[in-house]
Every structure is written in C-alpha cells, then in structure tokens.
Structure 1
Amino acid sequence: NGILSSGDFIFYLLILPSITSCRMSREQKAVECARKAFLTGRSKPLEHRIRQLKNLQRFLLEREKEIAEAIKKDLNKSEAGTQLYETLGLEGEIVLAVKKLAEWVAPRPVEKNLLTISDTVYIQPEPLGVVLIIGAWNYPWAVTIQPLIGAIAAGNAAVVKPSEVCVHTAKVMEDLLPAYIDKELYPVVTGGVSETQELLRQRFDHVFYTGNSMVGKLVMEAAAKHLTPITLELGGKSPCYIDKNCDIPIACRRVTWGKYSNCGQTCIAPDYILCEPSIQDRVLEEIKKSIKAFYTEDPKTCPDYGRIINQRHFKRIMAMTEDSTIAIGGDSDESTCYIAPTVLKDVQVNSKVMQEEIFGPLLPILTVSGVDEAINFINKGEKPLALYIFSPDDKVIKKVIAETSSGGVLANDCLVHYSVSALPFGGVGNSGMGSYHGKFSFDNLSHLRGCLIKQLKMEGVNDMRYPPHTAKKLFWARFFILKNPDLGWLGRMTLLAIIAVVAAVVLQVRGKEETFLISTVRKRLQWRCILFEVEL
C-alpha cells in the first residue's frame, strides 16, 4: 500500500504502449488455468479450503527465514519486525478462518414476514469465482496474502500479483508459495507494469487492489469494462489530533511508533499532527525523546529502522521538506535511501508536505485553536483511511467521530485497529471502497445469495396478487406486506392457522358471499391480534 504502489505503476502505465501478442500471454494462461481449476469445483468443499489455509500457515512457519531475508533486502526490516508487522497477523487470520469457516459458509437464516412465514428463507454465501489480488510493496506479505486468505476461505480461485518493487519478496512468493498451496487455483504472476496491464485486460470476478488513489482509478476503469466488482484499499493523509488535556508523553510515544514504523511507509501512519500552539513545544520534546528511545541517537545504525523503498521515492519525500522548518531530524543519505525520523514545524496548508500523502518519515505539525478548527481542517480534505484522536475526554472523541468521516478511527493509539479482525478495515471516498479482515474478508469475496423456498400449497393466499385486482385484494396485500408483528413462536403458529383459514376462504368464496366472509375473517384476525397484544 502507498504512493505509486506496485512499482512506479502510475508513471509507466501512462507512458508505456499497450503490449499485444498473437500468442496467449503468461498472464492469460494463469487466468485461464485458475478459471479451469475453479470450474472443477474443487475449491468449494469446506475440507479443501481448510486444508489450503493450513498449508498456507505451514508455509509461513517453515519459510520464515526466507521471508525475513527477502524483506531485509527489500525494505531493511529486521527479522523480528517482519514477524511482528507481516506474518504474525497472517497466522492469526488463518487461525480465525479455520476456526470459524464452518459457521461462515453455513446458510444464514433471515427474519420472516407474514408472506414468508411458512417458507424457508436464508442467505447462502457462495464463491465469486476467480479473484485478482494486486499487492503492494510496503507490507508485501500482509497486504497480499491477507486478501488471499479471504479468497481461499470464500472458495474462490485467485491470481496473486505481488509488487515487483520488492524484488526479493516477489521471488520468494513465486518460487515457494506454489509448493504449499494449489498452484492451479492460486497462481503467482510476477513482473512489472506490462504484466499488470495484461492481467487487468482479463476478465475476473473480483479485483482486489492495494495502493494509491491515482492507480486505483485506473484499476477501477479497467474492471468496469467487464463490470467486475472491486475492492480498493488506498491511502490518504490520515490526521492526528492531540488534545491539550491528554497525557502528552504517552500520546507522543504512540504517535512516534505509528509514524516511523517501516520508515513511515504505512498507509495508516499518522500523516500530520493537529494541536494547539500552547502544547506544540511539548509535543516536539516528547517526540524527540521517543525517537531516541526507539531508534537510538543514530537511527541510521539501528536495525529496527527501515529505509525508503527506492531513490525516486527518496527524492520525492526530501522535496517535501523545502518550504517547512525542520524541528527534529532531517538527516539523509541518498545512496542508501536513508531519511532520519523527521518532524516539521511552521507548516502551512499550502506547504509541499501537505499536498499529498507523505508515505515517508516526515511528520508535519500544524497548530489549530481547538477541536472545532481541527474538525473543519480535516473536513476540507479528502476522507482519510484513518483518523487518530488523543484525548481523555469522551465528549471530544465522540464529537470528532460524529463530525468527520474516515475509513477507520482510533482514539488514544495508532495503527492497532488494523490488527482487530472483528473490525472491517477499508477506506471511504478517496481512501478506498470495500473492506476486509476476518469475516469481512470472507463476505467481501463471497456472493451473499438470497434464497427463498416455497411449497406448492396454500395457493389461496396468492390470490391477492393475481388479476383482476380489486380493493379487497389490495386490503389483504397491504395487511400481509405492511404488518410485520414480532409474535414469537406461539404467535407465529397462530398466524399460520389464520393464513390457512384465509386461504381456504379465498378459494371458496365468490361473488356476494366474499364481502361477508372476508369481514368475518378480519374480525377474527383482529381478535387474535388483540389476544397477542399486537396492532393489526
């Protein structure tokens, strides 16, 4: 996830010519293979899904060393950091899916109304088909394999496209993943922009893209040609409001961790701080202390501090510092793509650092008069992927939640809402569409099929819908459609008996007798409703 995800995707996608070939491309073969495998039906049985998920978990455990070495080469992440931020969460998702999958795939009963009281009504989750998963480079395992877990759990086939920017990680996925999970159902396609272009020309049943909003629009445009539904996990400038009455040292420690993890290359990292002028110096002081505590006096030598993914992004990030004052950090080394944890002050709305998502270790501080001005500032921009509030006052927290919009919101901490499988993770507006994690992944990559099973009996009840249409039929239609009392088991049994009486009456009564008998049934129905204390 992040700026120009999947390599320099947006740059090349706009300038490279379309690549056509009279022969079937590698990407077409992968999609066709996945489609054929899906049509065999072998991805659907519960046992197969669970077996594939357990094999995926075994892969993460057995290939822990290869995974860590690849990410060390790509992003300079430590082995412990790789497990903490990449694979541990994946293992948790797999354990949850295996435990809950039988419950998730089961038919889901729904509330009945008077017209369906004697019918079988339920929702049946079913696989969508073949899913395309386009991963990102900043957390190449977490944001690529987590959608795959959902796709497997939902019974789909999936074509996995890891980011080519993380060359070593993509190679590990391509070489080792097919040895653990069904390589026909879940092929891995590596390559750059041309390969991604070719994949997007194919027809899928769902496209799951993690990246930035500019490329997201191109993915959405490509998917629209086939009317393919999509999930876009994008980013944006996630604000962080610090209330003057909160515990500032704790707040700044948590913000520092959230901002500088993975060298700031996190889609939900705090993008900028909003606080009152009276606490700005204190905030700067506490962030400086936290940087030293986390990354030592020299973060460049700290094994837990990462690097910018490439020199193009290095130059982009450094250019953002030009019209602001560096309050903390600022050191850099282009040859190793190192930028120190940096805090900027004297930042204005029109400063370069405020014009796009930073996606790097720069943290601007802007001053506001209070929570109302902070809310107004946030609402003037695009809806962010995350919004952070630090305050001991529940009223302040609830006010910010009520008066803003964001993909997710977290009070008094950073990032950790991503790890809660019971919460949907996703954006809104410019920060994305669709959500995943836990059961939300399963539902997002399933078709929730509505099912109604009736019997060829009690045809008299249907008389109200058949021509000729009369006032009396409309009366009964209004009753059955608009009245929906909650009667409990005994009430439902009574209503079933009443419906049977109505059906018999409607079948037998014609002409002048109809008015009298319908009136009689209606009176009896009123009496029953009074007995069970419901309104007719």
Structure 2
Amino acid sequence: METELAPIHEEAEASPEEVKLDVVPEATKHLGVAETVAHLREGARERIAVTRKFRAAQLKAFERMMSRHESDFVTALAQDLGKSAVEARLTELSMVRNEVKLAQLYLTEWMGAQHQRMPIAFQPAVAKVEPQPLGLVLIVGPWNYPVNNLLIPLVSAIAAGNCAVIKPSENAPTVSALLERLVPQYLDHRAVAVVTGGADVAAELLEQKWDHIFFTGSERIGRKVYAAAAQQLTPVTLELGGKCPVVVVDGNWPAIARRIAFAKFTNAGQTCVAPDYVLAVGRAADELEKHLPRAIAEFYGKDPSSSKDFGRIVNESHVDRLAGYLADGDVVVGGTVDRTHRYVAPTILKNVDPASPVMQEEIFGPILPIIRVANVDEAIDFIGNRSDPLAAYLFSERPRLHAIFEDHVRAGSIGIGVAILQTGVTNLPFGGVGNSGTGNYHGKYGFDTFSQLRPTLAKTTMVDTLKPVYPPYGWAKSTMVKRAL
C-alpha cells in the first residue's frame, strides 16, 4: 500500500537523502502484528534491502539516530534500570555505535564473493561463495540491556541485507517507547519495524513465518522460542544465560576484587555474562572476603543506595526473587533490600551450600556467593557437572592453569584475568553453547548469522568435459573415474 510520507526533521544541514530517510510512515504506525509482518515481507520479496547502497544508507541513518538521541537513550535507561549516564554509554550506546561503524567500514568486504579453487576434474569452471540475505528476520530483545542486545543484532541484519521486525522488552517500557518513536524516523519502514507489547504480542509474532529468529533472554523462554520456530523449521539464534563461574587461584588481590566487583555489580548484576558465583581455591576465599567489600566501597561508597553509579532492579518481582536468596548463606557485606526503590545492595555471601536455591538458578542480580574448593581440578569438576555457562572466568597468574582451564571448561566464552569485557570486543563472536545458547554475533560473525553463505558453480557448455562421468559406465570410464577420484 502506497502512503504519503511526512518529513519529521527539517534541519538545514540535512541532505536530500537524509530527509528521505527521516520520515514516519503514518499508515504503518497502527498496523497489527500480522499486517506489519506482511508489510515487511513484501519489502523482502522486492529485495529493497539487498543493494549495497541501501544497506550503507540505512547504517548511516542508524548512526545518526544513535548520535542525535544519545541523551534520550541515557534518560530512558536511567528510568528503566537506574543506569548512570556513564554506564549507559559504556555498556550500551558505545557498543552499538562501534558495531555500526565496523559494519560501515567493512560492508563492501563482507558482501564480497569468495572465489574457490577448483579441482582439475571440474575444470574449466568457476566457483564462489557469496553471502545472501536470509529475507525477513525477527529480533526479540531482553530488558537488562534493552538497547545493546536489541540494536546490535539489528545492525548485523541490516548489514546483511535483511528486512527485520524488532520487539523490545515490555519490562523496559521507557526504552521500548523510545525505540518505537525513533526507529521509524530513521530507518526505512519497508525494511524495519518495531512491534511493542507483552507476552501475547510475542506469541503472535512467533506464529508468523520468518527466515530467522534471533532471541536474547532466559533459557526458559528460549525453549519456547525454539519450539515455536521448529513448527516452521525456522533457524534460530538463541542468546541465553546460565550461571557463569569464576575460579580464583592467585594474583593481585585488590585488582582481582575490583575486576570481579565491576563485572558482577555493573547494571546491578543484571548481566548475562556477569560472574554468578566464585569458586575460591585455598586461601583465595579469605582474600576475597576481605578485598571484595573494599572494592564495593571504593566503587559505590559506604551506602551504595545513595550512589548514582549503582543501578536498580528492573521490577519488584525480581527484587522479591533476589531477596529470597539472601538466606542461602552468611552475608559478608550488603544484604539490604528496599523493595519500594527496587534496590538490592551489592552482596557477598559465604558458607553457601551448593545445593541451595542461589546455586541452582541464575541469580541475575547483585548477589555473589563464594564457595571454597581445594584445587582447580575440583573447581573444573564443579563447573562440568552443571549446565554449560555463557562465560567462565579464571583468575591466576599461572600459564599452566590457563591452558588447563581453556582445555577442560566448556563455555560460550572464556576470560583469563578479566570478566565481561569480552562482550565489548566487536571482532570477537558472542554466543553460548549448550543450554546457554546457539549461534553467535558481533561484527562479521553477526553478518554471517544473518546471511546464507550460498555456493555457486559455473561451467561453460562450449566444451563438455563431463563426458567421462556420463553413463553407460564401461571398463574405460570406470577406470578413469576411479583414478580421478
């Protein structure tokens, strides 16, 4: 359906191309789920997002959206999750911008065909592998990083030439409303749409026909997404969670404590790759119980509830869930809960029973249990007897232990001497393994996730070199084929 597009931005410096992109399709604002998907399916059939020119223009518009509305995103993240401006820029906005810049820089190279060497028996012939867009994709984002984890996959989908529907989490309502307002202003309505709503909307979206589904969230919901996708044999990427372990052996104790505390308490512990529990080898437990409280005080002061740098829990039900874990060990520091203000203090627990609830479920909050183990072998066995984590971390200055840990621990990613920072490296793949997810993204890996790596083989018919493989197969042909193979 053709609609008249109304300009939104009238800035003097905007080029004609920019004005064309910064529009809102009035007739598509109030479409239902099925109508929105049909609208974008038509765009995918027309291959409007496939050309390099279109992809580059959309990425440029994406970059403008992130730049012009940085303060809006900061405000929305503060409203939904209590994130400070610095944390919002560090863990969300800068990561999206870096992905956009990387995609712009390497778009031509990523789109290029890779020519393959041909065996003599197939010559003369030309073979290549060329990335092709999948078509129409669905991207479902989480509430804990509602900008980062939704828009980075969208960057990859756009770079790969796809049309996309994105669904922000209803548990981050301010960010969701902001994306619903901004995305249509900057990205072509024939290629990208935002659909908001709760579980009923998500269920309706999953009933539609997609060429790929990208989901970030809990393992429980991930299983439902996987089951729904299986009904139509839709390929999926699942970025799930898991209990990410930290094994601590030796090193600079104040530095170790700071790095663990930063990784754990950023976003109030609501990070899928945050340390979920510590396995402390030997005297490491005593050192951590001494130095972690100091690191917390250094970051957030004596009263973290008054720190502008410590975030809030997303809603009251999650506060209640986290409060229930506090009885599963002895509190070293923290333990305070203020349900009204969605505050759970940065908390360290000791004397934790491995069979207690806090060790059975992903914590996803600012509570860190410490469990004592005799040696690294015991720690590796402890990890191996549980579901595969999204990340696993080791703090030790012994290279031999690094090699043992990397060889024997199965996880989506490994950190040695550091935690969570691997997610900020745009040219490293991010993804899980086993129960923590399937597939990966970031940079070229995201481009490939949203592409079909299609092979093409071309041979001239002017010289028919295939005669030896045509039947009937007598002795001479059989002997020739046998030697050739």
Instruction: Tell me the CA shift for residue 457 of structure 1.
Output: 4.1
2:481 alignment partner, one of 477, 482, 494: 477
2:120 partner SS: coil
2:150 partner SS: helix
In 2, the alpha carbon distance for the partners of 1:318 and 1:419 equals: 30
The superposition leaves residues 473-525 of structure 1 with CA deviations (integer Å, 9 ceiling, x where unpaired) of 344324433xxxxxxxxxxxxxxxxxxxxxxxxxxxxxxxxxxxxxxxxxxxx
**Contact 1:86/1:141 (<8 A) preserved:** yes
- The reply on whether 1:375 has 2:380 as its aligned counterpart is yes
- The reply on whether 1:229 has 2:251 as its aligned counterpart is no
Instruction: Tell me the CA shift for residue 458 of structure 1.
Output: 4.0
Instruction: Tell me the CA shift for residue 110 of structure 1.
Output: 2.1
TM-score, normalization by structure 1: 0.83
**Contact 2:83/2:310 (<8 A) preserved:** yes
In 1, the alpha carbon distance for the partners of 2:97 and 2:328 equals: 44
TM-score, normalization by structure 2: 0.92
- Larger mean CA deviation between 335-344 and 469-478 belongs to 469-478
Q: Which residue of 2 aligns with 1:345?
A: 350
The superposition leaves residues 111-140 of structure 1 with CA deviations (integer Å, 9 ceiling, x where unpaired) of 322223431111011100110000000000
Show structure 1 runs of 5+ residues with no match: 1-23, 482-536
1:413 partner SS: coil
In 2, the alpha carbon distance for the partners of 1:134 and 1:290 equals: 35
> Which letter maps to 1:476?
M
2:446 partner SS: helix
> Which letter maps to 1:456?
T
1:335 partner SS: coil
**Contact 2:247/2:281 (<8 A) preserved:** no
2:427 partner SS: coil
Instruction: Tell me the CA shift for residue 248 of structure 1.
Output: 2.0
- The reply on whether 1:426 has 2:443 as its aligned counterpart is no
In 1, the alpha carbon distance for the partners of 2:116 and 2:248 equals: 44
Number of aligned residue pairs: 456
Please list, as runs of the form range in 1=range in 2, the aligned pairs for 1:125-524 lying within 5 A after superposition: 125-243=131-249, 245-459=250-464, 461-481=465-485
**Contact 2:330/2:350 (<8 A) preserved:** yes
With over 3 angstroms needed to count, the CA separation of the structure-2 counterparts of 1:419 and 1:117, relative to structure 1, is: farther
In 2, the alpha carbon distance for the partners of 1:479 and 1:255 equals: 61
With over 3 angstroms needed to count, the CA separation of the structure-2 counterparts of 1:322 and 1:124, relative to structure 1, is: same
The superposition leaves residues 380-433 of structure 1 with CA deviations (integer Å, 9 ceiling, x where unpaired) of 001100010111111101111111211111111011111112211100100000
In 2, the alpha carbon distance for the partners of 1:57 and 1:85 equals: 17
**Contact 2:248/2:284 (<8 A) preserved:** no
**Contact 2:282/2:375 (<8 A) preserved:** no
Instruction: Tell me the CA shift for residue 25 of structure 1.
Output: 7.0
The superposition leaves residues 139-185 of structure 1 with CA deviations (integer Å, 9 ceiling, x where unpaired) of 00000000000010000000010001111110000011110111231
2:400 partner SS: helix
The superposition leaves residues 365-391 of structure 1 with CA deviations (integer Å, 9 ceiling, x where unpaired) of 111111111110100001100010111
> Which letter maps to 1:343?
I
**Contact 1:235/1:432 (<8 A) preserved:** yes
The superposition leaves residues 335-361 of structure 1 with CA deviations (integer Å, 9 ceiling, x where unpaired) of 111011000111121011101110000
Q: Which residue of 1 aligns with 2:10?
A: none
In 2, the alpha carbon distance for the partners of 1:86 and 1:478 equals: 59
- Larger mean CA deviation between 112-121 and 386-395 belongs to 112-121
**Contact 1:109/1:122 (<8 A) preserved:** yes
With over 3 angstroms needed to count, the CA separation of the structure-2 counterparts of 1:296 and 1:117, relative to structure 1, is: farther
With over 3 angstroms needed to count, the CA separation of the structure-2 counterparts of 1:241 and 1:182, relative to structure 1, is: same
**Contact 2:156/2:447 (<8 A) preserved:** yes
In 2, the alpha carbon distance for the partners of 1:390 and 1:130 equals: 43
The superposition leaves residues 50-69 of structure 1 with CA deviations (integer Å, 9 ceiling, x where unpaired) of 11011111101101111111
Show structure 2 runs of 5+ residues with no match: 1-29
In 2, the alpha carbon distance for the partners of 1:316 and 1:471 equals: 76
**Contact 1:321/1:352 (<8 A) preserved:** no
**Contact 1:242/1:389 (<8 A) preserved:** yes
Please list, as runs of the form range in 1=range in 2, the aligned pairs for 1:519-530 lying within 5 A after superposition: none
Compute the RMSD of aligned alpha carbons: 1.3
Instruction: Tell me the CA shift for residue 42 of structure 1.
Output: 1.6
In 2, the alpha carbon distance for the partners of 1:256 and 1:205 equals: 40
Q: Which residue of 2 aligns with 1:521?
A: none
With over 3 angstroms needed to count, the CA separation of the structure-2 counterparts of 1:68 and 1:454, relative to structure 1, is: same
Instruction: Tell me the CA shift for residue 439 of structure 1.
Output: 0.3
> Which letter maps to 1:187?
A
In 1, the alpha carbon distance for the partners of 2:482 and 2:347 equals: 66
With over 3 angstroms needed to count, the CA separation of the structure-2 counterparts of 1:462 and 1:399, relative to structure 1, is: same
